[in-house]
Amino acid sequence: MEINGVKIQDTFAEGFGIKVSRLIITAATKHLAKIAATEATGFATSVIGCPAEAGIDQYVPPTESPDGRPGYAIMICHMSKKALGGQIMDRIGQCVLTAPTAAAFNALDSEEAFPTGKQLKFFGDGFETEKDVNGKKMHVIPIMSGEFLVEDEMGWKDGVAGGNFFIMGDSQMTSIVAAEAAVDAIHAVAGVITPFSGGMVASGSKTGSKYSFMSASTNEKECVTLKDQVETELPENVFGNMEIVIDGVDEESVKAAMKAGIEAACQVPGVIEIGAGNYGGSLGPYQIHLQDLF
């Protein structure tokens, strides 16, 4: 299979289950909302070494936000329900409560939720109150600059992490440009994030290692500098390789994001092949076949 002359490998991305939350962070201006959302999703590329996986999903214009102000939908993910609840509390309490004019709303329809707002309200030290914002129960916490509003509960559900694809190009910059185009396209899909830096994974990994103390290590078969040293999976004319990793609220959202990202990447001159990472079922139960997306 080819798209715009780019070969789509007959392979699959191997995903795994994860607990997912989705919030909307609003503020007085788009700029302030983006700052708060960015702070709340920091140090969260991979649960291999970070306390969570998190990222900005989409911009939410005032006409669509809960309080009529500009905002950003963010997602926070973790393998553990308990750890996810703690991460939501920490990230809202430390990064959003402290951000100028920010407010935090639940943005996930789910059967289960964390009591984030009803716990965070105690920061108000007895001066906290409640109000309704378009049908949402909000806790109002007085702060030095005014008031901070946080919704009573933040929903969570079982989602899918580890959707991925590789962009193989004739140079490093080709793969980077194509990856940027892919991430831009993915941002148009609701309910997904690309948690790594700029949405791109420069150091794609595999499960396991020659070293017993490492749970993950470099994916040597996909390294452009090791083509003459290992049983490489890269074509001879590939000198750049970039991975995109996607977390989503469900498998269909991840598939839609992968499709959009791959289509965008294939429009960039110099892209040679699209592949994906899988590990024989050792990582997770979701197998998203690239060619089936089209």
Task: Give SS3 for 84.
Answer: helix
Does pLDDT of 282 surpass 90?
no
For residues 80 and 22, is the Cβ–Cβ distance under 8 A?
no
Q: What digits encode the pLDDT tens for the residues 53-72?
A: 999 999 999 999 999 999 99
pLDDT score, position 112: 97
| pLDDT score, position 280 | 75
**Alpha-carbon distance 272 to 235, whole Å?**
9
DSSP string, 91-112: HIIIIITTSTT-EEEE----SE
Asked if residue 138 lies in contact with residue 151, where contact means CB atoms within 8 angstroms, the answer is yes
* 167-to-54, 91, 259, 266 alpha-carbon distances in Å: 22, 32, 13, 9
Which of 85-99, 149-163, 206-220 shows the lowest mean pLDDT across its residues? 206-220
Residue 271 pLDDT? 98
What pLDDT was estimated at residue 289? Answer: 96
Name the 3-class secondary structure at 176: helix
150 φ, ψ (degrees, to nearest 5): -140, 135
13 within 8 A of 162, measured Cβ to Cβ: yes
Which of 156, 48, 29 has its CA nearest to residue 100?
29
Q: Dump pLDDT digits (tens) for 201-210.
A: 999 998 889 9
Phi-psi region of 125 (alpha: psi -120 to 50; beta: other; left: phi over 0): left
Half-sphere exposure of 239 (CA within 13 A, CB side): 7
Handedness of CA 131, 86, 46, 254 (dihedral sign): negative
Q: Which residue has the higher pLDDT, 207 or 135?
A: 135
Is 86 in contact with 52 (CB distance < 8 Å)?
A: no
Confidence of residue 150 (pLDDT cuts 50, 70, 90): very high
Cα–Cα distance between 149 and 26 in angstroms, integer? 10
pTM: 0.95
Q: Give the pLDDT band of residue 284 (cuts 50, 70, 90).
A: confident
pLDDT tens-place string over residues 254-275: 999 999 999 999 999 999 999 9
Nearest to 81 by CA among 105, 112, 54: 112
